[in-house]
Amino acid sequence: MRFELHEVLSGMLGSVESNTFTDDVTRLAAMFESLAGRFPLFAPMAAGVDPAAVGKALQMLQDKHVLQHVGEQYTLTAEGRAACRSSKRTLFNKRDVEQLEEAAQEFDKL
């Protein structure tokens, strides 16, 4: 995989409209798998995404204060959104950014 799961997740979070999303890692893993068939950036996830790996990626972002976990939801902090947008611009190329922005629309539907 070209990028780590937490990096791809962070890139998507830099494009989402909503500040909150589910903490259901099984549902999130399934979303990543479905994106694999639509976007080359996510293609390495086509073989399957372990929900535990999604949980670990979320925990990494929580440890960096990008996310807060409250109840059954994660909340993207204002500082976290800024950090995700910044890393999206520096880590990913233009084509990747376009894919992340399209994929973020699916993320917002969860």
Distance (Å, rounded) from C-alpha 5 to C-alpha 15? 16
pLDDT digits (tens, 9 = 90+) for 75-109: 999 999 999 999 999 999 999 999 999 999 988 88
Q: What's the whole-model pTM score?
A: 0.91
Q: Which domains does the chain have, with CATH numbers?
A: 5-108 (1.10.10)
* Residue 22, beta-bridge partner list: 73
Range 27-56 average pLDDT: 94
CA atoms within 13 A on the CB side of 104: 22
Q: At what angle do helices 94-108 and 25-36 cross, to 10 degrees?
A: 130
